[in-house]
Structures are given as C-alpha cells and as structure tokens.
C-alpha cells in the first residue's frame, strides 16, 4: 500500500503522518485493510484524546460483524477490550491487534480489529454504542495511571465478564487441553502460539492471564478454524524489552496456562477479581517450590479450581489469616471434600478430639496455645464446609460452632478454676459445701445459633457467697471474678467480634462484677429488681453451656419463674429501646440486616415477647432456640398456619445475610447492606449462593428476598404487637402494602411515591387487586399462594416501575390485564421466573395506552411477542404476508370474520412492532420500514382476496400505488395511507371498467371500513388526479396525460414518493418509469423552488407560538422533507439517480452526488430521526394522528421520559427540541438560499 493512494482518497491527511503510519504497522497491516479503512484509522487515531480515549466502529459483514477499537495503549487493555466485547455478546472468531509506536513522550495507540458474530436480533448501531459506552469508563480509569484506578478498571471488566459467564453457563466449564508454544527467535519480541478448543471468553481469559504476568502485548493474530483456536501473541516485558530468561519464560508459560483455566471458574466466585489476584499469588508461590510438578498436577483438577474460586473470593479475613498462610495444607484437603466428604467430623466427637489434641500440653501457657490453635482451625474448617458444601447450611454451621464454643468455654473455665484453686483453695459456702458455678449462654450462644464472626454472649453465675478454703483465702466473689477474667483472656479472638467473649448482658452490665452470685441474680431480675425489661427479655435465650450441669439447670428453672410466671416485661420499655437502637444504628436510607425495621432484632424481640406472653400457659414455648419457639407458637395457635414457616425462613435468611456480610468484610459490626448497584452487593449475593436464573441476577434475587422477608416481619409485628412496635416512621416497601390488611394513607404515599406513583389511592387499589385479593370462596390456599408469589413479583416490579415514564399508568394497565387472565398464579410464576417478560409488560403498559388496550383485550398476544426470534428480529415482508395468509384462510367463507381477522392480525403486528420500539429501542428506520411493510401486506392481501373472487382477469391489469409516508416506506403508527389505482387501458376494455372500479372500491372499503375489531387504515385518495373529485381508478393513458399537462407543481412534488405496492406491480413500475421523468421536467427550476417554498409556507401550522407542531411547524419534519424534495426536483432533472422515495436514502444520494456535505447530511439525519421518534411516541400513545406537543406539564414529562429515558426532565426535553428545530429551520433556509 502506497501513501499516494491513501492521499488520493483522503487529501486532508498529512503525507508524513500517512507514511509513518504505513511504515510502523508493516506489511501485515497493509495487506489486511483497504485504503478506505486506513483513512478511517488515521482520522480516528487523531481524534483519540485523554477526554475521548477510545473510538469504536462496527459493521455488518457477510459472515457476521467486524469491530474495530482505536484507543490509547495501556497494560491490561487487550483483556479489557475482549472482556467487554464477549460480555456484550460478541463471539470473536478472528482478528489482528496492532500497536502504533510513537515517540517516547507520547502514549502509544492501538488498532484492535475483530470479526465474529453477535446474537441474532441485535441492532449493530446500538451494539456499537453500547461497546463504546462500556469501554469509556475503564479507559478513563486507565488514563489516570494510579494503582487504585487501574485495579478498579480491571475489577469492573472482570465483574462484567463473570456475570456474563455465569448467565451463559448452564454447567461447570469444560477444561480442554491447551498447547502453548514459546518461540524466542524474533529479534524484538517473544512469541507465544496457543492451540486449543474454542470456548466462551477464550481471548479474555488469555489476555487476563498474560496481563497478570506484567508483560506488554504488542501484537495478536486471532484465528479460529472450525472449533479450534490458533492464536499468536507477540509480547515483551513492561519496559518493551524481549524476555531472555528461560526460567522466567517457563514460569510465565505455566502461569498463563493455569490462570487461563482458572478464569472460567470466576463466575462462581463471590468476588471474581479478588479471587483472580489471589490465585496468581498462590500460583507464584507454587512455581518457585521444589515440588512444583506435584502442585501443578493438583491444579489440573477442575474440581480443585472450582473450590478455589469459591474460597479465594469469599473473605479478606480467611485469606489473610488462613488460606494464604496455609495453602500447602488446604489445597490437598480439597480432594476428600470433592468426594462428598466434609472438612470436619460430626459435632458429637468435637470435645473428645479437642481433649486428644490438647493433652500433650504440660502447662497453662501451652494449653492456651493449643486451645486457640484448635479453635481457629475448627472455625476455619467449619467455614470451609459452609462455603463449599451445599448440605452445610447455616443451621448446621450454628450447631457446630455452638458445640465448639461450649467445649472451649467449659475447658478454659475448668482449667482456670483448677489453677486458682491451687493458689486460693476451693470456694466454699458458709456451711462448708463447695460452691458451684454455671456458664450461661445468652443471645446467639444461648439459642445455639452462632454464626461466622458471632460474639459469644455469656453470663457466669455462682451458687453461694463465702470464701475459699486455702491458706491464702479470698472471698468467693473475688475468686469467681478472677476465674472469669482469666478464662476470657485465655480465649483469643483473631479479629474484633470474631469468637469474642461478650459479658455485657450480666447484671448491671459493664458496671457489674464479671461473675454474679445466685442471690444477686434473683434480686436483679426478680420482681422489683433493677433489670430493664430488655435484660429480662434476654433471659428467654439463657441456656446453661458449661460448669455445673445441675446448678445450671436450677438457674434455668429460676429464670422460668422470673420470666414466664409474672408480668416481668414492660413492652413499652422494649419499644423505647428498639426505637433508640434504630436511631443510633440504622436510621437513614441504607438497609441494615440487623437493625432496620423488620430486620433480625425485630423478629427476635417479637418472638421472645410472645414466648413471655404465652409461656406460662404453654410449656413448649420455654425454649432458648428461636425456630423451636416459632414452631411452638404455631402448634399452640398463636401463629396462623404458614406464618411460622415464613418467619423461620425469614430468620435464617437474615442470619445468612449477616453471616455473609461479616465474612465479606471481616467485621462483626458493619451490617449495612451495600448499595444495590455496587459490585459489593453482587459479591454478597454470590456469597449467599444466589445464581443466575432465567434473567434474574443474583443481586435481584437477594434484593427481592430481603424486601419480602423484612416486610413479612413487619406484618408479623403489626399483627401481634401493634404498629407502634415497628421502629422509625415511614419505613417499608411495596410488599408491605400487599401484606397489610390496613395501612395508613401517609405510609401508602411514602412507599408509592418512591417509585414515582402520583395517584396513591388508585395505585393501592391496583396492587390489592393484583395480589388476588378477591376472596376466592373456599380457595384460601390458592389466595395465599397468589399473595406469596405476587409479593415477590411486586418487589421486582417496583424496580421496573421506578424507571418508567408513567408508573401510574403501568400499574393500572397491569391490573386490568391481570383481571382478564384465568390463572393468576401461573402467570405470576412465569413473570417471576422470567423477569424480562415483566419488564416488557410494564414498559408496554407505561408507553402506550393503545398497545396496552390491545394486550388487555388479547392477552394471548403476550406469549407470542415475548418469543425471542419474534421480538428481536426485523420481520421480512414475505414472512408477514405468508403468516397473514395462514391466519386468514380459515375465514375465507365468512367475509365479516375475515375482515375482523385481518384487523386482529394487524393489531398483533402493531403490538410486536411497538414492543420493539418501546422496550428494545430499535432504530426508527427499522420501525418505519416494518410499519410500512405491514400496511403494504394488508393492501396486498385484500387485493389478492378481491382478485380471487373474480372469474375474469380484469384485476390482472391494474396496480395500487402508495403516496406519502407509505410510498416512502416511512409510515407512522396512526398514519392514513394515501392510495391510487391505475389500470392498463390497453388490456381492459371500456365495458370492464365499471366492474374494475367496483372491485377497487371494495378493496379500499375492506381496508378502511370499521368492524367489531376497528378499521385497518384510513384510506386517503386526495393525492390522486383531480383530488377528491377524481376517479377511484385511472387508465394509464389518462394518468400520464394528467401529469404531462395538468398536474400542479405540488402534485409533481408528491409524485416523488409514488410507489407500486399491490396488484400488478410490474405494470406499476413501467408506469413510474414513464410518468416520473415526464413530470419532473415540466416546470422550470425557478418555478419549482417557488412552488415548494410557497407550499411549505402554506402548510406551516405554527401560528400559535405556544403550540409546538413537530411535523408542520417551523423546524419540523416538513422542513426536512421539503428541503430534500426541492433538491431532488431541482437537480433530479439532470441526475435522475438522486430521486428516491425515502427521505433518509435520498439524503445519502444527495451527499454521494456532492449536493450536500457529509456534515450537513449527518446532522439532518440525526434531527430527522429525533423528530420522528417524538412523533412516534405522540401517536403510539393512543393511536391518533398527533403532531403537537401536549401543553399539560405531566403529559410533557411523560413524553420526555418515553422519548429520552427516565432521567430526562421536561425542561431538558424542551431544550433539546428547541435546539433541534432551530438547526432544522436554519438548514432549510440555507438550502433555499443556496438557489
């Protein structure tokens, strides 16, 4: 390729820039790209700046698509680009990656070229914009250059790739063998060749693996042969030097191999990027060990990689304190786990194993060391079981952790008791009997419900006052104080709050002695004692966990007498305390899993209050375990059937969330949920084992469950303890509205206004009806099932409604639609399992009342329009025509049924097209074409039906033409269709003309007549010769004579869009070939310009400046159409090639002919499509011909959001519209001035 050839096509380019470009990129580049491509590359390279660091263009090709990315070069850039392309659906099959070297002072740039395919139905222009948008943020971060920004960029793309991998993978990934060849023969680069089976995200995995080795990828050649990958990577170190160290190259090869394989498991990791970094850390350590082959063999097992992916992204605490330090022990342990074995033995054997472990210790110091070693190892192994083993749910983890805590506590206290007895003697009562003590668990410890990072709440009670019997005698109070102090010190906490002993629930809290005598216990908690109601309530969870079994049982019985046989609890005190907790620990917009209204403490307090209230009557309620208490409340009738199950599920759900948060953050205190759209929220959801399921992301599923469970708890509180028991004001979500039988108007408003609802009362009624609240006689179970499903669905729907232009309208239409369904439960279950269907449904219900009514009256249409191939692809005219035929053939014997069937078919197609427009933002060009082809098919099928009813052949010699929007393939939703019929008078005699005209009238009538299903189209015949007084059909000779001799200039202008659409279209094309050239040369240039301008002035409707008419007003659609048509009429007489029926195609032809500039064409196209989009949304709303912007603020706001998105205000919309119309009018005036 020579520079001179490029300059001939791109004279604006600098010759030195062109020469250097070709020279630097070499022969492979020149052979791959055309002169046109090179020109575009150079221009785009020049347009890349720090503010606009990436440029993307994509094009359709015969084999799929090609995508070119031009940007600055950074480390990790190849993996970032390929990760985003794969995440957005591109299956890369081939490509070439070029790096443009510059001077040392300037950053290098890249040209990355890929070919492949994207899923069917994706609009390439939309896809390209999505790619460019997705690339912009990570490139802006890379531009900053600091370590944190680069890490954030990599993490962002890793998250995106992991989500896409998880959504696309239905089974565990298959690890195919990889052949990697390293070639060191090139002078400036190392070369790596990779041969393997093609798999999803292969290039991303390879790019990530290479980038993790701190190397610079200089060139990539991508090739896929069948299902085999044959890729080549040229690379250097980060200093752009070739790597010569063979040991380093060998390690690099192995690192790339295993990192690439590990990448495929990132989708199951809670934190994919962190897992990848930690895997690299482990791999580096293994590769420098003497027995590395043994380790690498272990890592070849995909099940080992699966386990590591889960573990490495779970917790900073587990990584820092265990995995990183003890991986040599851990990784081999994964093998038995993979054989369905657990890491720890059953809890029954725990104490005996502990005693066997610690028996070698010779002194207290050694015992302390071994005790904590055993404790920390067991906690770690239990956590591993919980993370990796499905059958190890939270209940099992709690049982094991509680058993471990009891064993450790009992041993530590016993050892210290023995040690102190050696110094002071044993504690004795006044009567000389040895005093006993009991370790009493409270809270989670008492309830056998310890979790990850739970503190261990205990109280120590001893039986009697007195003194010890040793030579160095001390009071019993001092002895047991010292026992507690030293025993607690014996048990170490790895981090604050993790297995930390908490004594704050003892009498008098921090002010009281560490050990409490039985007498003090009774006086403090008994009637008239100083204990707060909350402290007495906490005794419900009291359970003896160590020390004297008999004495512990006695304390439990005393507790029963205190708590369950007297009015020991003042509920108002509990409410005040709960309100204080809320204000101090959870108030604000962020949700707290423990302290937000309806969170864990609300459930725990409420259950304990009910236990106290009914425990005197029902002994089954005297239990420290909350799930047993809930079951007891159900069995005694305090709770309704099913209520207990819901609350047990809510309890364990919130415990799992708290467990996950603590593991995620390594902190027992921060229990606020992450922001909904943050990566941390995704990590938490995956940590809790939520998976992608038919369109519901893990984060969505977690959000739904949290809102649902907390709403159930709030409903439980209100029902059993009154609404004042719920802390805070105005807290709640949409599920509360469904679950509560009664709710205040202020609460309704607060909840519904958050999702954009304005008509609160109507929306509330909608929700109640949607929830199946119809009192189905004898079908209580069915009602409850519908209520349960809809409660979940409503939470999901709320997230959609808040993004819609008119959530009130959407909710009202949804209720009307649901009322027409025979099986609500089945419908709601389907919507819940496939949330994209719900998104489509609500967008239709918010976007168009006309389409909403269509769907409400024809609910069976919904299944059809949510079929992927139906909704994602442009429907061909032949497919539509054949479908219409098969749909109508059954009605051929009944004219009325046939006409109704035709109209119903049209409604279904309009619903499909409108759904593509509203829900999938398909291009206006596609929408206009589909609307035009639908009308064309209807005219064709009606014409064909009429023709089949005639025995003679007179209908073989006529053609129906379309003017205007249908002629130009630019139809709107509610457009009239301008039609004209012409017959071949050389074939049809005068005697047959009346019969032909009768048939044509019948065709037009069948299209326009109003039946039970409405009309198809309003047929407008005013553009025919002689207008409204003209004939229904014209002979060709008379038609030609009219345009040669009599047609006014405005009629010649309308002729531009004339197109044959039905009947004998071959005859129609002949007519046009003769009529158009004859008509277009009749008038002079000056007359043509004056006529078009005069007609435009007469059609301008914007006399009232307060009304904005986007079609006929100044700067409206007419200005663009008339600008194009005047250019066609003026220049078309010398260049017939620029005459085209379609406005957008005409603009292309005018540009190609040099009549208008490329810049002007692009701006006109942009403005035309914007105005047509506004027009579409005006008309699709009620299927009316509207062109004037509404004057009511609410309607303007809704229109703005429909056209431009949820976050756009009416003022922003008016500003954009004003600028657009100003540009359009200015262009119109400049074009006319140019003559």
Q: What is the pLDDT of residues 1118-1135, one digit of tens each?
A: 999 999 999 999 999 888
pTM of the complete model: 0.84
Does pLDDT of 298 surpass 70?
A: yes
Phi and psi, residue 766, nearest 5°: -55, -50
Question: If you search the block for the tokens 């205040």, which residue do you land on?
Answer: 744
The enclosing domain of 595 has a CATH number of 1.20.120.330
Asked whether residue 637 falls in the same domain as residue 664, the answer is: yes
Residue 855 lies in a domain: no
Contact between 1075 and 1043 under an 8 Å Cβ cutoff? The reply is yes
Q: At what angle do helices 350-358 and 364-388 cross, to 10 degrees?
A: 140
Pairing outcome for strands 64-72 and 54-61: antiparallel
**Does 1036 lie in the same domain as 914?**
yes
437: domain CATH number?
Answer: 3.30.460.10
DSSP letter assigned to residue 979: E
Residue 592, beta-bridge partner list: 672
Buried b (16+ CB within 10 A) or exposed e, 1017-1043: bebbbebbbeeeeebbbbbbeebbebb
- Rounded to an integer, the average pLDDT of 179-194 is 90
Q: What is the pLDDT of residues 454-486, one digit of tens each?
A: 889 999 999 999 999 999 999 999 999 999 999
Q: Please, are residues 79 and 156 in contact by the beta-carbon 8 Å criterion? A: no
- 25 is a domain residue: no
> Which is more confidently placed, 910 or 527?
910
Answer yes or no: is 631 within a domain: yes
What is the predicted pLDDT for the residue at 862?
95
- Give the residue-averaged pLDDT of 272-281: 84
Same domain, 549 and 595: no
- Looking at residue 475, its pLDDT comes to 97
Same domain, 391 and 514: yes
Point out the domain boundary residue: 537, 565, 593.
Answer: 565
Residue 367 lies in a domain: yes
Contact 1056, 1141 (CB under 8 A): yes
Q: How far apart, in whole angstroms, are the C-alpha atoms of residue 224 and residue 297?
A: 29
Q: Comparing 414-428, 1136-1150, 1192-1206, which segment has the lowest mean pLDDT?
A: 1192-1206
pLDDT at 170: 58
Distance CA 695, CA 730 (A): 32
Q: How confident is the model at residue 264 (pLDDT cuts 50, 70, 90)?
A: confident
Q: Are residues 1103 and 1134 in the same domain?
A: yes
- Nearest Cα residue to 365 out of 486, 265, 282: 486
Answer yes or no: do 677 and 757 share one domain: no
- Look at residue 1117 and tell me if it is in a domain: yes
Record the tokens describing residue 7, joined without a space: 């300059």
Stronger pLDDT, 1183 or 171, i.e. the higher one: 1183
Q: Which residue has 């300037």 as its token pair?
A: 106
Cβ 947 vs Cβ 963: under 8 Å:
no
* Nearest of 8, 31, 7, 9 to residue 19 by alpha carbon: 7
Please calculate the CA angle 1011-1013-1019 and round it to the nearest 5 degrees.
Answer: 60
Q: How far apart are CA 384 and CA 394, in angstroms?
A: 12
Q: Across residues 861-876, what is the average pLDDT?
A: 89
Mean pLDDT for 315-321 is 73
Q: Give, for 220, the enclosing helix (H) or strand (E).
A: strand 215-225
Write the pLDDT tens digit of every residue in 64-112. 899 999 999 888 899 999 999 999 999 999 899 998 876 656 788 999 9
| Chain-centre distance for alpha carbon 510 | 48
Domain count, the chain: 7
Domain end among 794, 814, 847? 847
In a 13 Å sphere around the CA of 479, the CA atoms on its Cβ side amount to 33
For residue 839, is pLDDT > 70?
yes
Region of 453 (left: φ > 0; alpha: ψ -120 to 50; beta: rest) is: left
Choosing from 1043, 1067, 1082, the residue where a domain stops is 1082
Residue 1133 lies in a domain: yes
For residue 1049, what are the domain limits?
868-1082
Identify the residue with better confidence: 424 or 103.
424
Judge if 548 and 581 occupy the same domain. Answer: no
Q: State residue 240's pLDDT score.
A: 85
* 157, part of any domain: yes
**Residue spans of alpha helices (H) in 875-1009:** 877-888, 895-920, 924-948, 964-967, 993-1008
Worst-scoring range by mean pLDDT, 288-302, 600-614, 761-775?
Answer: 288-302
For 5, phi then psi, to 5°, come to -65, -35
**Claim to verify: residue 631 and residue 684 sit in the same structural domain:** yes
Residues 1127 and 985 in one domain: no
**Selected residue with higher pLDDT from 90 and 780:** 90
Residue owning tokens 């785009």? 44
Is residue 845 predicted with pLDDT exceeding 70? yes
Per-residue pLDDT at 778 exceeds 60: no
Confidence of residue 796 (pLDDT cuts 50, 70, 90): very high
Say what the pLDDT of residue 777 is.
Answer: 41
Tell me: do 705 and 756 sit in the same domain.
Answer: no
Render pLDDT for 1006-1034 as a digit per residue (tens, 0 to 9): 999 999 999 999 999 999 999 988 999 99
pLDDT on residue 1112: 92
Tokens representing residue 1215 in the block: 């500003």
As a whole number of angstroms, the distance between CA 822 and CA 826 comes to 9
Q: Are residues 675 and 796 in the same domain?
A: no
Supply 447's token pair.
């309830």
Choose between 100 and 339: higher pLDDT. Answer: 100
How far from 999 is each of 368, 967, 993, 1066, CA to CA, in Å? 104, 22, 10, 20
Do 108 and 144 have their domain in common?
yes
- Please state which of the ranges 120-124, 857-861, 1159-1163 shows the lowest mean pLDDT: 120-124
Mean pLDDT of the chain: 89
């Amino acid at each position: 390729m020579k520079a001179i050839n490029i300059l001939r096509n791109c004279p604006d380019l600098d010759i030195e820039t062109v020469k250097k470009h070709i020279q630097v990129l070499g022969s492979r580049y020149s052979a791959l790209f055309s002169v046109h491509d090179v020109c575009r590359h150079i221009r785009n390279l020049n347009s890349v700046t720090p503010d606009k660091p990436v440029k993307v263009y994509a094009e359709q090709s015969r084999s799929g698509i090609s995508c070119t990315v031009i940007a600055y070069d950074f480390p990790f850039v190849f993996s970032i680009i390929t990760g985003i392309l794969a995440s957005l659906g591109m299956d890369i099959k081939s490509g070439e990656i070029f790096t443009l070297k510059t001077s040392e002072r300037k950053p290098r740039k890249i040209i990355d070229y890929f070919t492949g395919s994207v899923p069917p139905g994706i609009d390439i222009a939309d896809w390209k914009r999505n790619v460019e948008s997705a690339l912009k943020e990570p490139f802006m971060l890379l531009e900053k250059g600091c370590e944190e920004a680069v890490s954030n960029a990599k993490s962002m793309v890793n998250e995106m790739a992991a989500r896409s991998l998880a959504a696309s993978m239905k089974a565990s990934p298959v690890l195919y063998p990889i052949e990697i060849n390293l070639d060191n023969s090139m002078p400036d680069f190392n070369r790596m060749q990779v041969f393997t089976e093609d798999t999803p995200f292969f290039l991303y995995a390879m790019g990530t693996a290479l980038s993790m080795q701190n190397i610079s990828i200089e060139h990539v050649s991508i090739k896929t042969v069948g299902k085999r990958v044959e890729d080549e990577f040229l690379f250097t170190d980060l200093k752009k030097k070739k790597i010569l160290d063979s040991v380093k190259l060998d390690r690099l090869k192995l690192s790339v191999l295993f990192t690439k394989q590990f990448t495929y498991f990132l989708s199951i990791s809670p934190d994919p990027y962190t897992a990848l970094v930690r895997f690299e850390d482990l791999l580096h350590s293994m590769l420098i060990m003497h027995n590395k082959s043994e380790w690498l063999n272990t890592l070849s097992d995909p099940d080992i990689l699966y386990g590591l992916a889960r573990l490495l992204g779970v917790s900073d605490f587990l990584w820092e304190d265990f995995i990183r330090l003890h991986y040599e022990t851990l990784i081999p342990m994964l093998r038995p786990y993979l054989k369905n074995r657990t890491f720890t033995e059953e809890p029954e054997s725990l104490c005996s194993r502990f005693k066997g472990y610690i028996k070698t210790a010779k002194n207290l110091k050694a015992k302390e060391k071994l005790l904590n070693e055993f404790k920390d190892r067991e906690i770690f192994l239990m956590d591993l079981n919980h993370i990796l083993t499905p059958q190890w749910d939270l209940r099992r983890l709690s049982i094991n952790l509680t058993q471990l805590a009891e064993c450790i506590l009992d041993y530590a206290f016993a050892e210290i008791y023995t040690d102190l007895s050696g110094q002071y003697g044993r504690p004795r009562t006044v009567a000389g009997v040895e005093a006993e003590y009991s370790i009493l668990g409270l809270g989670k410890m008492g309830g056998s419900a310890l979790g990850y990072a739970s503190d261990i709440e205990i109280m120590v009670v001893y039986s009697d006052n007195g003194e010890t019997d040793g030579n160095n005698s001390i009071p019993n109070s001092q002895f047991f104080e010292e026992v507690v102090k030293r025993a607690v010190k014996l048990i170490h906490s790895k981090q604050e709050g993790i297995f930390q002993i908490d004594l704050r629930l003892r009498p008098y809290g921090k002010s009281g002695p560490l050990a409490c005598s039985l007498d003090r216990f009774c006086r403090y908690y008994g009637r008239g004692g100083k204990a707060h109601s909350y402290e007495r309530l906490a005794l419900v969870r009291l359970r003896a966990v160590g020390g004297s079994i008999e004495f512990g049982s006695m304390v439990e019985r005393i507790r029963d007498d205190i708590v369950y046989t007297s009015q020991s609890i003042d509920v108002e005190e509990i409410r005040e305390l709960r309100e204080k907790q809320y204000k101090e620990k959870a108030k604000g917009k962020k949700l707290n899993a423990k302290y937000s209204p309806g969170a864990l403490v609300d459930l725990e307090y409420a259950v304990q209050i009910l236990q106290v209230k009914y425990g005197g009557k029902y002994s089954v309620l005297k239990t420290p375990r909350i799930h047993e208490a809930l079951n007891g409340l159900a069995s005694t009738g305090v709770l309704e059937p099913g209520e207990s199950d819901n609350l047990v599920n809510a309890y364990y759900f919130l415990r799992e969330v708290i467990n996950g948060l603590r593991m995620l953050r390594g902190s027992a205190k921060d229990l606020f949920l992450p922001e909904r759209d943050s990566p941390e929220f995704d990590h938490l959801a995956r940590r809790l084992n939520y998976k992608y399921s038919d369109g519901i992301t893990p984060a969505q599923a977690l959000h739904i469950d949290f809102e649902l469970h907390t709403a159930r708890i709030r409903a439980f509180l209100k029902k059993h303890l009154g609404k004042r028991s719920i802390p805070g004001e105005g807290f709640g979500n949409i599920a509360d509205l469904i679950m509560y039988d009664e709710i205040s108007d202020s609460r309704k408003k607060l909840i519904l206004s958050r999702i954009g609802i304005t008509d609160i009362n109507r929306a509330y009624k909608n929700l109640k009806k949607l929830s199946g609240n119809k009192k189905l006689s004898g079908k209580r179970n069915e009602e409850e099932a519908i209520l349960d499903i809809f409660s979940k669905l409503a939470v999901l729907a709320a997230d959609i409604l808040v993004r819609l232009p008119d959530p009130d309208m959407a909710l009202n239409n949804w209720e009307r639609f649901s009322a027409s369904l025979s099986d609500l439960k089945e419908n709601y279950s389907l919507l819940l399992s496939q949330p994209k269907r719900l998104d489509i449904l609500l967008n239709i219900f918010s976007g168009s009342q006309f389409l909403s009514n269509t769907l409400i009256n024809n609910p069976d249409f919904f299944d059809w329009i949510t079929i992927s191939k139906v909704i994602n692809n442009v429907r061909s005219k032949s497919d539509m025509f054949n479908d219409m035929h098969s749909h109508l053939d059954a009605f051929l014997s009944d004219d009325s049924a046939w006409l109704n069937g035709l109209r119903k078919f049209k409604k279904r197609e309009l619903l499909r097209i409108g759904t593509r427009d509203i829900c999938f933002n398909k291009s206006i060009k596609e929408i206009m074409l589909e609307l035009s082809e639908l009308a064309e098919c209807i005219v064709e099928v009606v014409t064909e039906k009429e023709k089949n009813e005639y025995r003679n052949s007179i209908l073989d010699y006529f053609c129906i033409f379309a003017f205007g929007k249908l002629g130009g393939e630019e139809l709107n939703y509610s457009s009239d269709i301008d039609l004209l019929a012409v017959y071949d008078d050389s074939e049809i005699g005068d005697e047959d003309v009346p019969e032909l005209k009768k048939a044509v009238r019948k065709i037009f009538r069948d299209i326009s007549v109003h039946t039970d299903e409405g009309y198809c189209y309003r047929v407008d015949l005013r553009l025919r010769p002689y207008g409204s007084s003209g004939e229904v059909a014209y002979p060709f000779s008379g038609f030609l004579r009219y345009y040669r001799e009599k047609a006014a200039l405005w009629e010649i202008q309308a002729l531009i869009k004339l197109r044959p659409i039905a009947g004998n279209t071959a005859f129609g094309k002949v007519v046009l070939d003769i009529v158009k050239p004859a008509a277009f040369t009749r008038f002079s240039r000056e007359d043509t310009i004056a006529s078009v301008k005069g007609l435009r002035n007469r059609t301008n409707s914007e006399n009232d400046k307060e009304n904005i008419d986007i079609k006929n007003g100044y700067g409206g659609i007419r200005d663009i159409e008339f600008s194009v048509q005047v250019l066609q009429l003026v220049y078309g007489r010398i260049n017939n090639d620029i005459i085209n029926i379609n406005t957008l195609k005409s603009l292309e032809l005018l540009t190609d002919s040099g009549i208008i500039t490329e810049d002007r064409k692009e701006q006109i196209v942009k403005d035309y499509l914007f105005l047509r989009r506004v027009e579409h949304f005006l008309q699709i709303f009620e299927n009316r011909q509207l062109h004037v912007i509404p004057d009511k603020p609410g309607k303007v706001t809704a229109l703005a959001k429909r056209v431009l998105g949820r976050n756009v205000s009416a003022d922003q919309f008016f500003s954009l519209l004003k600028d657009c119309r100003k540009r359009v009018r200015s262009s119109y005036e400049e074009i006319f001035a140019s003559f």
